[in-house]
Structure 1
Amino acid sequence: MRIAIMGSGAIGGYLGARLAVAGHDITFVARGAHLAAMRSHGLKLESPLGNVNLSRIRATDTPGDVGHVDIVFFTVKLYDSETAAAAIVPMVGPETRVVSLQNGIDSVETLARLVPPSRVIGGAAYISGYIKQPGVIVHVGGATQFYIGGQHDPVIGALLAACIQAGNIGLQTVEDIDQALWTKFVTLCAFSGATSLLRSGIEPILTDPESRMFLDQLRDEGMAVAKAAGHPMQDGYEAHAVSVWQDLPPDTRSSMANDLLHGRPLELAWLSGRMHTLGSELGVPTPAHTAVYRALHLYAKGQTKLHG
């Protein structure tokens, strides 16, 4: 398949590396030092499931030069969504599918303003990783699970086959992608808010009684917001969320926590900030998410490095 990775960070880099090794035609869209390193030295993936070293890859900062592809994996940070969505338009042909694996619940709507809605496929990614240095992606372990829509779409069927061939990509289609997106949203907002505000990996938060109460409160507020929005969590969700967190390596922090630590812009407005706004609109109290949003708002645009 011809696949473009729009946003070649932890998620896009992982998928692109695995699929490239399997022989698929992959173009990585990136920028800055990360792009320069990939052009010069290729891309390295460090993973407990097996390392990948791609010495020669196709990498660009100009999507218009790529041409039509079968799949665009849309994995940019949420604050870059509008600009990136406009940039992918030249890569979208009549049979292209744009698979969004962003955080939050707004990606499909954003993309559908610029790409025909029938070609946009929502998705939720459960994978933890980061850019170790330009040209080097680290997958820290835990799940590599991706849930996407398009259950009866032949192009998505071909993508599923490609992922099975590549291995170590747990891609599966679901009938109700909206519910999958909301489940990820509630789970991630709690994990992201707690690890960011508490400046800690997940295991100390789970084992400290007061910190655990804060994490649980963030989760429960998200559940209440989701229910009020018409997307209640399924029975047993509380235990499911805890199992997701417990399966992560002990020191794992959310991508927002890592961005905060390194002075980069935050996805705050689309995570705890979105919970805060939705709670206000729906009449659902969200004191924990509001605390995360207000406490981190000073750092939302990046530039201020923290230690810890």
Structure 2
Amino acid sequence: MRIAIMGSGAIGGYLGARLAGAGQDVTFIARGAHLEAMRRHGLQLESPRGNVSLPQVTATEMPSDVGHVDIVFFAVKLYDNEEAAAAIVPMVGPETRVVTLQNGIDSVETLARWVPPSQVVGGVAYISGYIKEPGVIVHAGGATQFYVGGHNDPVIGALQTACTRAGNIGLEAVEDIDQVLWTKFVTLCAFAGATSLMRSGIGPVLADPEARIFLGQLRDEGMAVAKAAGHPMRDGYEADARSRWQNLPPDTRSSMANDLLLGKRLELAWLSGRMHALGNELGVPTPAHTAVYRALHLYAKGAEP
């Protein structure tokens, strides 16, 4: 398959490295030092599930140079959505599927303004990773699970086959991707809010009684917002979320927490900020998410004020 990775950070870099290492035709779209490193030295993936070393990769800053592809993995930061969505248009042919693997619940709607809605496939990624240095992606451990829409879509079926052959990519096509998106949204907003506001990995948050209560409040508020929006969490969700957090390496932080520490822009407006806005719209109190949103708002554009 011809595959383009729009946003070659932790998620896109992991997928692209595994697929390219298995012989798929992968183009990485990146910028800055990360792009330059890939052009000079290729891409390295460090993972407890097996490293991948790619001395040469196809990498560019210009999606318009790529041509039509079978799959675009859309994995840019949410604040870059509109610019990136416009940029991928030249890569989208009549049979292309654009698979969004972003945080939040708004990516499909955003992409559908630029790409035919029938070709946009919602998705979520359960993976913890980061860019260690330009050209080097680290998978921090834990799950490497991806859920996408497009159940019974032959193009998505071919992608599943490619992921299975690559190994260490659990990609599952589901019938109700909206519910999967909302479940990830509720889970991630709590995880991101807690690890960012407390400047801590998930292990210490779970070990401390007061921090653990706050994490639970964030989760419960998200559940209430989801229910009011028509997407209630399934029975047993609380235990599933707790188990997912407990199974992460103790020092694991959300990508937003890592960005905060590095002085980068934050996806705050699309996570706890979105919960805050939805709570106001739906009449659901969200004091914990509102606290996260207001406390971190000074840092939303990056660096310290």
Residue 303 of structure 1, CA deviation? 2.1
Q: What is the match of residue 180 of structure 2?
A: 180
Q: What is the match of residue 50 of structure 2?
A: 50
- For 2:184 and 2:3, the matched residues in 1 are separated by 25
1:60 partnered with 2:28? no
- For 2:40 and 2:200, the matched residues in 1 are separated by 35
Q: What is the match of residue 130 of structure 2?
A: 130
AA aligned opposite 2:287: P
Q: How does 1:204-243 map to 2 (within 5 A)?
A: 204-243=204-243
AA aligned opposite 1:172: E
Q: What is the match of residue 154 of structure 2?
A: 154
Q: Structure 2: 5+ residue runs without aligned partners? A: none
- For 1:199 and 1:137, the matched residues in 2 are separated by 22
Residue 247 of structure 1, CA deviation? 1.1
Give the paired residue count. 305
Residues 235-282 of structure 1: per-residue CA shift (max 9 Å, x gap): 000001001101111100000000000000000000000000000000
Q: Structure 1: 5+ residue runs without aligned partners? A: none
SS in 2 for 1:122: strand
Residue 232 of structure 1, CA deviation? 0.1
TM-score of the superposition, structure 2-length normalised?
0.99
1:31 partnered with 2:31? yes
TM-score of the superposition, structure 1-length normalised?
0.98
SS in 1 for 2:227: helix
Percent of residue pairs bearing the same amino acid type: 81
AA aligned opposite 2:270: W
- For 1:71 and 1:245, the matched residues in 2 are separated by 31
Q: What is the match of residue 96 of structure 2?
A: 96
- For 2:303 and 2:55, the matched residues in 1 are separated by 32
Residue 304 of structure 1, CA deviation? 2.4
- For 2:244 and 2:99, the matched residues in 1 are separated by 23
Residues 75-95 of structure 1: per-residue CA shift (max 9 Å, x gap): 000000000000000000000
Q: What is the match of residue 272 of structure 1?
A: 272
SS in 2 for 1:184: helix
CA RMSD between the two structures: 0.6
- For 1:282 and 1:148, the matched residues in 2 are separated by 27
